[in-house]
Structure 1
Amino acid sequence: MSSEQFLTNLYDEYIEHPHLLSSDQAGWDKVGLVYELEPKGEMPEAFTSSHILIVCQGDFQASFQINGQWHHEQYTQGDIALFVAGELFPRVKTDREVPLIDLFLSPDILIDAVGEIAPPKIQLQSHFRLRDPLIQQMALALKTELEIAGEDSKLYADSMATALSAHLLRRYAVKNSVIKEYKGGLPTYQLKLIIEYIQTHLDQDLTLTKLANLVQISPHYFASLFKQSTGTSPHKYITKCRLEKAKNLLRHRESAIAFICQEVGFKNQSHFTRVFRQYFQITPKAYRDLF
Structure 2
Amino acid sequence: MNLLKEFLFNPPERKIPLDEPPLETLPQWGHWLETPEMMVAIIPPGHLEVNIRSPLNLVVTSFGETQGIAAFNSDRLQPYQALPGGFDIVPNGTTYSSVEDAACFVAFGYSQSFLERIVQVEAEGQTIELQPGQIPKTHWGLSVAIAIQEFFDNGQTGGAFYLESVATAVLAQIIYRRSNFCGRFKRPPEFLEPNLFKVVLEYIRAHLSQELSLNQIAATIGFSPYHFARAFQVTTGLSPYQYILRCRLEFAQQLLRTQKLPLAQVAVAAGFGNQSHMTSVFKRMLHTTPKRYQQEISSV
Checking the alignment, whether the CA contact within 8 Å between 2:53 and 2:96 is kept in structure 1 is: yes
Alpha-carbon deviation of 1:135? 2.7
Where does residue 40 of structure 1 map in the other structure? 47
Q: Deviations over 1:8-46 (max 9, x none)?
A: 9x96877x9851x2213xxx3454211122542523x22
Moved more, 156-165 or 257-266: 156-165
In 2, the alpha carbon distance for the partners of 1:75 and 1:287 equals: 47
Q: How many positions carry a matched residue from both structures?
A: 281
Normalized per residue, the structure richer in helix is 1
**From 14, 32, 38, the counterpart of 1:22:** 32
In 2, the alpha carbon distance for the partners of 1:174 and 1:193 equals: 33
Alpha-carbon deviation of 1:134? 1.8
Where does residue 21 of structure 2 map in the other structure? none
Where does residue 238 of structure 2 map in the other structure? 232
Structure 2 residues not aligned, in runs of 5+:
18-26
In 1, the alpha carbon distance for the partners of 2:243 and 2:89 equals: 32
Task: Give the share of equivalent positions with the same residue, in percent.
Answer: 24
Q: Deviations over 1:94-152 (max 9, x none)?
A: 2x464222121233333223343743232222225621232332232123123324274
Residues 1:7 and 1:104: Cα distance change in structure 2 (over 3 Å): farther
In 2, the alpha carbon distance for the partners of 1:79 and 1:115 equals: 26
Moved more, 180-189 or 257-266: 180-189
Residues 1:107 and 1:177: Cα distance change in structure 2 (over 3 Å): farther
Q: Does 1:162 align with 2:172?
A: no
Where does residue 104 of structure 2 map in the other structure? 99
Structure 1 residues not aligned, in runs of 5+:
none
Residues 1:58 and 1:112: Cα distance change in structure 2 (over 3 Å): same
Given the two structures, how large is their TM-score scaled by the length of structure 1?
0.83
Checking the alignment, whether the CA contact within 8 Å between 1:53 and 1:82 is kept in structure 2 is: yes
Checking the alignment, whether the CA contact within 8 Å between 1:109 and 1:165 is kept in structure 2 is: no
**From 89, 99, 105, the counterpart of 2:96:** 89
Checking the alignment, whether the CA contact within 8 Å between 2:58 and 2:109 is kept in structure 1 is: yes
Where does residue 23 of structure 2 map in the other structure? none
In 2, the alpha carbon distance for the partners of 1:179 and 1:201 equals: 31
Alpha-carbon deviation of 1:238? 0.7
Tell me the amino acid that sits aligned with residue 33 of structure 1: V
Moved more, 220-229 or 194-203: 220-229
Where does residue 247 of structure 2 map in the other structure? 241
In 2, the alpha carbon distance for the partners of 1:271 and 1:247 equals: 14
Tell me the amino acid that sits aligned with residue 231 of structure 1: G
